[in-house]
């Protein structure tokens, strides 16, 4: 195997064969070492949250990765491959160039499909909303759909003030049954206050930079169709597989879906609706 080993000869056969062998071993070793080194670098640079999101996102079912421009009819069918980060999406940028944004935010919430949907704020695909405050901070809360999906959780773990949030990283988590569910952060920022009292759960976050890019958040006419799509997805999950899809009976959604459907696979449903693979 080596020149100093008994029986080794400097023949072309030996040199070619062992040369190839050692090259292969070197490539395999280098691949593992490089992965290890990159992993260490990612840990040092605190990129774990973005890596987690990237990994989770690509493991989500296609139905959970629908492009926002499908809700508004700009595409008949389009799946996002960009981790819902429209800030770096070329297609989104091009589509928004020619689109007038509605600067007159509607003060009164819309009531659709039995949900209360305030339109004066921006929405993240993981069912949180974001509203800017006069103080320069942003309030983050759980939307009505998610509130009903969670119902009454057994435990909530909110971040402590000073915690830094990263878009699509963990904002807070709750426990429902045997399932731990994490809620994704819609913005980068530092938590200045957190509450789970009578006002519901919310976080107050101070952005890390003076200008906050919110291009990745849903707004205006996108919100209601998105709610409808999410409600449809949930109905598909709750439908009895023996019966199939049924028409809605005209009632309003209950306050606590898991309580109303205790036998469903809520672990899977939470994962899919809150974008956790």
Partner 1 sequence: MDKLFIARGVSRTSLKNFIMWIIPWILILIVGVYAVFLCLYEGLNQTNMDNRFAFGLWIYLDLTVIALGAGAFFTGFLLYILKRKELKAVINSAVVIGFICYSGAVGVLMVDVGQPLRAWFTFWHPNVHSMLTEVTFCITCYLGVLAIEYIPIILKNRRIKQISSMLVFEHELHKLVVVLAAVGTFLSFFHQGSLGGLYGVLVGRPFAFRPALGIWPTTFFLFILSAAAVGPCFILLTTTLVSKISRKQLVKPEVLQLLGKISGNLLIVYILLKTIDTIIWINSTSPSLGFTAASFYKYSGFGTWIMFAEIVLCGLIPALMLQNKKLRARTSWLVVAALMACIGIVLNRFVMTIQTLALPTLPFDQFMSYVPSWQEVATFMAVLAYGMLVYSISYRYLTLFPQERELQSM
User: What does the binding site for partner 1 look like in residue numbers (CB under 8 A)?
Assistant: 1, 5-7, 11, 13-14, 16-18, 21, 24-25, 27-28, 31-32, 34-36, 38-39, 42-43, 47-48, 51-52, 54-55, 59, 61-63, 178, 236-237, 265, 267-272, 276-277
Residue 171 to residue 190: CA distance in whole angstroms? 11
Of the candidates 175, 206, 181, the residue with the CA atom closest to the CA atom of residue 191: 206
Residue 15 to residue 165: CA distance in whole angstroms? 56
CB of 67 to partner 1, least distance (A): 17
CB-CB contact of 176 with 153 (8 Å): yes
Residue closer to partner 1, measured from CB, 24 or 208:
24
Residue closer to partner 1, measured from CB, 5 or 100:
5
CB of 273 to partner 1, least distance (A): 11
CB of 51 to partner 1, least distance (A): 5
Phi, psi of 81 (to 5 degrees): -115, 10
Residue 192 to residue 70: CA distance in whole angstroms? 35
Residues 6+ apart with CB under 8 A from 126: 168, 183, 184, 186, 274, 275
Residue closer to partner 1, measured from CB, 50 or 72:
50
Residue closer to partner 1, measured from CB, 109 or 169:
169
CB of 240 to partner 1, least distance (A): 14
Helix, strand, coil tally for the chain in percent (to 5): 35, 20, 45
Residue closer to partner 1, measured from CB, 137 or 170:
170
Residue 205 to residue 130: CA distance in whole angstroms? 10
> Residue 114 CB: number of other CB atoms within 10 A?
15
Residues 6+ apart with CB under 8 A from 164: 188, 189, 190, 191, 208
Rg of the chain on CA atoms, in Å: 25
CB of 6 to partner 1, least distance (A): 7
Residue pointed to by tokens 């492009």: 67
Residue closer to partner 1, measured from CB, 36 or 208:
36
CB of 239 to partner 1, least distance (A): 10
CB of 237 to partner 1, least distance (A): 6
Residue closer to partner 1, measured from CB, 36 or 111:
36
């Amino acid at each position: 195997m080596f020149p100093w080993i008994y029986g080794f000869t400097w023949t072309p056969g030996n040199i070619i064969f062992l040369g190839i062998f050692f090259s292969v071993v070197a490539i395999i070793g280098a691949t593992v070492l490089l992965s290890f080194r990159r992993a260490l670098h990612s840990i040092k640079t605190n990129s774990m949250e973005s890596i987690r999101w990237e990994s989770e996102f690509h493991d989500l079912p296609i139905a959970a990765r629908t492009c926002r421009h499908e809700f508004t009819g700009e595409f008949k069918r389009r799946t996002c491959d960009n981790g819902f980060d429209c800030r770096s999406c070329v297609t989104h940028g091009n589509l928004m160039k020619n689109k007038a944004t509605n600067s007159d935010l509607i003060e009164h919430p819309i009531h659709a499909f039995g949900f209360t949907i305030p339109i004066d704020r921006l929405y993240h695909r993981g069912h949180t909303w974001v509203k800017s405050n006069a103080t320069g901070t942003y309030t983050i809360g759980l939307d009505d759909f998610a509130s009903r999906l969670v119902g009454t959780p057994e435990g909530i773990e909110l971040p402590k003030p000073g915690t830094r949030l990263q878009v699509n990283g963990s904002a807070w988590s709750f426990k429902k049954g045997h399932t731990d569910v994490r809620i994704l952060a819609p913005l980068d920022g530092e938590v200045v206050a957190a509450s789970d009292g009578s006002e519901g759960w919310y976080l107050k976050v101070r952005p890390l930079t003076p200008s906050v890019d919110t291009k990745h958040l849903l707004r205006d006419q996108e919100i209601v169709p998105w709610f409808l799509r999410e409600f449809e997805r949930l109905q598909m999950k709750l439908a009895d597989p023996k019966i199939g899809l049924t028409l809605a009976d005209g009632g309003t959604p209950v306050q606590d879906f898991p309580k109303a459907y205790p036998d469903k696979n809520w672990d899977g449903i939470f994962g899919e609706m809150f974008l956790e693979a």
